[in-house]
Amino acid sequence: MTPIRPPMAPALALTVVLLAGPTLLRADDQSTAVGVLPADAQGRPLNLDFETGTLDDWTAEGDAFRDQPIEGDTVSPRRGDMKSNHAGRYWIGTFERLGDEPGGTLTSVPFPITHPFASFLVAGGADRGTRVELVLADSGRVIAEANGENTEDLGRVVVDLSEHRGERLRIRLVDQVSGGWGHLNFDDFRLHPERPDLPARDPLPPPTPTPTPGSPPRSRPPR
């Protein structure tokens, strides 16, 4: 029987980081247009929602993403206060197979930015070592990051990509944290023709750069 895709689940608190360029928003409501899956140069929809049940169109490094994706809600049976809130049948949850210890990355194939807005579901640890990165494929520049706030409930993030239409993008999932909440949940990357009707929130500032040894400290600009 063909699975029925449930409505997008309500988003919980998320940590989002704007690194440069596009506007990154946090969403508390997901009553939006479904959007479209990105496609390759031949027009084939890419497996960025994992509904093939495989990691086709992704490359894994390290062990964190071994035996992914996850089928169904494996969160609520082990803890009654949270659930996966994933879309469709499959999703990424790095705790669900091997716990918090393994590290690694999962990187999508590049695809053209054909729409001005994108959205995806993210949850997991609040440490920036567990994060979703949007990376310009040709320059390697990370233009936006998002992660969870120590919750398993996936919530939707919206990114304004209008400055980068016509460029190519990769999604990179990063799990570099071991120990408590050292994992990442992710699902359902979509492109949208217009900004989804979601309330905007201020993004966090980018991480403070690590100074080069011997260099003078950088002063923080006045607010």
* Residue 22 pLDDT exceeds 60: no
> What pLDDT does 50 receive?
98
Q: Are 125 and 40 in contact (CB under 8 A)?
A: no
Q: What DSSP element (H or E) covers 26?
A: strand 24-26
> What pLDDT does 195 receive?
87
Residue range 169-199, pLDDT digits in tens: 999 999 999 989 999 999 999 999 998 876 4
Residue 9 placed within a domain: no
> What pLDDT does 41 receive?
86
The structural domain count of the chain equals 1
Give the mean pLDDT of 14-24. Answer: 49
Residue 148 placed within a domain: yes
Q: How confident is the model at residue 206 (pLDDT cuts 50, 70, 90)?
A: low
> What pLDDT does 197 receive?
78
* Residue 46 pLDDT exceeds 70: yes
Residue 128 placed within a domain: yes
Strands (E), 58-213: 58-62, 70-71, 90-93, 104-108, 111-112, 117-124, 130-136, 142-148, 151-160, 168-175, 184-192
> What pLDDT does 196 receive?
83
Residue 90 placed within a domain: yes
Residue 66 placed within a domain: yes
Mean pLDDT highest for which of 13-17, 20-24, 44-48? 44-48
Q: How confident is the model at residue 24 (pLDDT cuts 50, 70, 90)?
A: low
Residue 125 placed within a domain: yes
* Residue 12 pLDDT exceeds 90: no
Residue 42 placed within a domain: yes
Q: What's the CATH number where 100 sits? A: 2.60.120.260
Give the mean pLDDT of 120-147. Answer: 94
The neighbour count for residue 179, using CB atoms within 10 Å, is 10
CB-based contacts of 221, cutoff 8 Å, min separation 6? none
Q: How far is the first Cα of the chain from the last one, in angstroms, to the nearest whole number?
A: 57
Residue 8 placed within a domain: no
CA distance 180 to 100: 7
Mean pLDDT highest for which of 108-117, 154-163, 189-198? 108-117
The boundaries of the domain holding residue 170 are 14-192
Helix (H, G, I), strand (E, B) or coil at 145: strand
